Amino acid sequence: MMGSRRGFEIVITSDRTMMSNHHGKEFLGFMATGPAIGMPERLWMWLAAPKPKVDSLGRPVEAPYGLRKVEAVLQDAGYNAAVVDPDHIHKHLDTMKALLIGHHDFFAYGPPSSEWWVMTGQEPVNRKSFRKFMESPAVREAKRRGVKIIVGGPAAWQWLWALEEWKRWGVDCVVDGEAELVITDIVEAALNNEPLPDYVYVGPADTPSVEQIPVIKGASVNGLIEIMRGCPRGCKFCSVTLRPLRFLPIDHILKEIEVNARAGIKNTILHSEDVFLYHADGVKPRPEPLLRLHEAVLKATPGTISWAHLSLAAIKYAEEKHKLVTKLMQDMIIPKQRYIGVEVGIETGSVRLAKIIMPAKSAPYPSEKWPEVVEDAFRIMHENYIIPAATIILGLPEETPDDVVATAELLDRLRPYRSLIVPMFFVPMGALKNRDWFKKHGLKEEHIDVLELCLKHSMYWVEDLINKFYLNEPLLMPVRLGIKLFLSLVRRNIHRIRPALEAMIAEGRKEAEVGTPHAVASAGVTCGCRASNPHQQ
């Protein structure tokens, strides 16, 4: 690698909450989206985001997938660039000319960070960690020496609500969207000390084709690799649907698994907005490409596999039409591992609201059947040891109290199925990015019912999951103890949550009466769209 002995000209990094493998348990990464509860922050951070192993130049063994893609593009173009752990960027101060910082949630304005922030009144640790990084001596010294700071990733949009920090930290350019085709130009301009644009938004015309997406050069956190980009469902709250749909070939996928395996990463997370739509017929899953994909991935993966996201309609269709879930799980996956984890989106139990904001989410079934689709898919997952972390969105534009009641009724029916259900407040993204945030004074009694139902559902099942499936490795016993400590604290205080939220409603009413300027930037906010794993693009 060019110049690697001296240091890198282009350093790609993030803060600690992103640059971690979360003890090899991706779901623990979600702890980094909340504040430390019931334990010292240092312990919370250790549970959520332990430091990764690094080499003498500070390059981590595993790094967030999006950063790895940017690294690959720049290295392929001949630049002296590398992903470096945030604690080690000082090693490159003498050579660094551009500092590229990616993040899933820079300021904790995204889901679910903003929700924990609203509900606890405390800043989430990811926000604090990012601020600590930006104000670290190494970053300040880099800026003093004229290093260009370029930020991007899925949370690029948040800088539009953080102008004070943008100015204070001297950010030179924000890149919003898929970066493959624009980042070399921007870096070249930075290296030549040419003026950079303040903001670059990458529209569909400038997204890369499959052939233009490079293979990562270094391992990704917990073996996450993408199998496709984009999603055809067009849900209005989701930014992914704005991107064209592309499928990565199996050869490309296997090359990335090899990169991970060479670095000692045994597991693979298949990333897609809907894994079952890999080479699908529109929104109808096809058995042949999915079976071929899994056969190849399972063969190449030394450890276990998991799926980033599935849609509930695809699960129901795949099983009822082709018995595909049974084939994948019973014949291929279960012989190798005990269960598979995945994120799914319920979002609402209301047919009326589903028709407005996500008319194709239930396809090929009609929106009228959405609650039935959800329930059937949960049953199929339960029977096949697929453990979902599901999301609900509260405060969607045009939501009425009846819609929230419909969601609560659906949650009641999901109680028998092994799962975690995470409620989130609406964050303006996707085709709804011009709409207003869900604010504290929008919280209603019906929302509290849903929040309480979700908490009780998840607390009921999390015990089962930890006892039977999760964190059973001997090396993870201290982590298991920490999580159990946290859960017992939640259980002891569960009766206090409703009164606290009711007090929040009363407070919100008062604030609404007197007006609350800068609601988004102050902690009294917000919001949520579908949660994404911290390392997904």
Residues lying near another protein in the complex (CB under 8 A): 157, 159-161, 163, 166-167, 171, 176-177, 181-182, 185-186, 189, 192, 194-206, 242, 428, 431, 433-434
Which of 280, 270, 269, 297 is CA-nearest to residue 245? 280
Which helix (H) or strand (E) element contains residue 228?
Answer: strand 228-229
Q: Which residues pair with 422 in a beta bridge?
A: 391
We find the least distance from the C-beta atom of residue 428 to another protein, in angstroms, to be 8
CB of 186 to another protein, least distance (A): 6
If the CB atoms of residues 157 and 365 are measured against another protein, the closer one turns out to be: 157
**Amino acid at residue number 24:** G
Looking at residue 417, the DSSP 8-state letter turns out to be S
For residues 22 and 236, which CB has a smaller minimum distance to another protein in the complex? 236
Tell me whether residue 425 or residue 437 sits nearer to another protein (CB atom). Answer: 437
> What are phi and psi for residue 376, nearest 5 degrees?
-60, -45
How far is Cα 191 from Cα 193, in angstroms, rounded to an integer?
A: 5
Q: What is residue 148's three-state secondary structure?
A: strand
Give CA torsion, residues 43, 107, 521, 149, to 10 deg. 130
d(CA 157, CA 161): 8
Return the number of the residue (15 or 176) whose C-beta is nearest another protein.
176
> In angstroms, how far is the first alpha carbon of the chain from the final one?
26
Q: In whole angstroms, how close is the CB of 522 to another protein at the nearest point?
A: 16
Strand partners, 82: 11
Cα–Cα distance for residue pair 19/408, rounded to 1 Å: 37
Q: C-beta of 515: minimal distance to another protein in Å?
A: 15
Output the smallest distance, CB 314 to another protein, in A: 25
Please tell me the distance from the alpha carbon of residue 48 to that of residue 36, in angstroms, as a whole number: 10
Task: Please report how close the Cβ of residue 157 comes to another protein at its closest, in angstroms.
Answer: 7
Closest distance to another protein from the beta carbon of 134 (Å)? 15
Give the nearest distance from C-beta 4 to another protein in angstroms: 27
Decide the pairing of beta strands 420-425 and 386-394: parallel
Helix residue spans in 392-476 (DSSP H): 401-414, 445-468
Q: What is the CA radius of gyration of the chain?
A: 22
CB 105 within 8 A of CB 33: yes
Tell me how far apart the alpha carbons of residues 248 and 219 are, in angstroms, rounded to a whole number: 18
Residue closer to another protein (CB basis): 167 or 496 = 167
- Whichever of 56 and 434 has its CB closer to another protein, that residue is 434
Backbone angles phi, psi at 433, to 5 degrees: -70, -15
Cβ-contact 221, 62 below 8 angstroms: yes
One-letter amino acid for residue 440 of the chain: K
Residue with the two structure tokens 């490079």: 214
Comparing CB distances to another protein, the nearer of 340 and 520 is: 520
- Closer to another protein by CB, 205 or 475: give it: 205
Report the C-alpha dihedral over residues 174, 180, 181, 182, rounded to 10 degrees.
20
3-state SS of 485-514 is HHHHHHHHHHHHHHHHHHHHHHHHHHHHHH
How near is the Cβ of 115 to another protein at its closest, in Å?
Answer: 21
Minimum CB distance to another protein smaller for 236 or for 309:
236
Q: Of 167 and 495, which CB lies nearer to another protein in the complex structure?
A: 167
The rounded distance, in Å, linking the Cα atoms of 279 and 305 is: 19
When the beta carbons of 218 and 230 are compared against another protein, the nearer one is 230
Q: Taking the complex as a whole, how short is the minimal distance between the CB of residue 180 and another protein, in angstroms?
A: 11
CB of 237 to another protein, least distance (A): 14
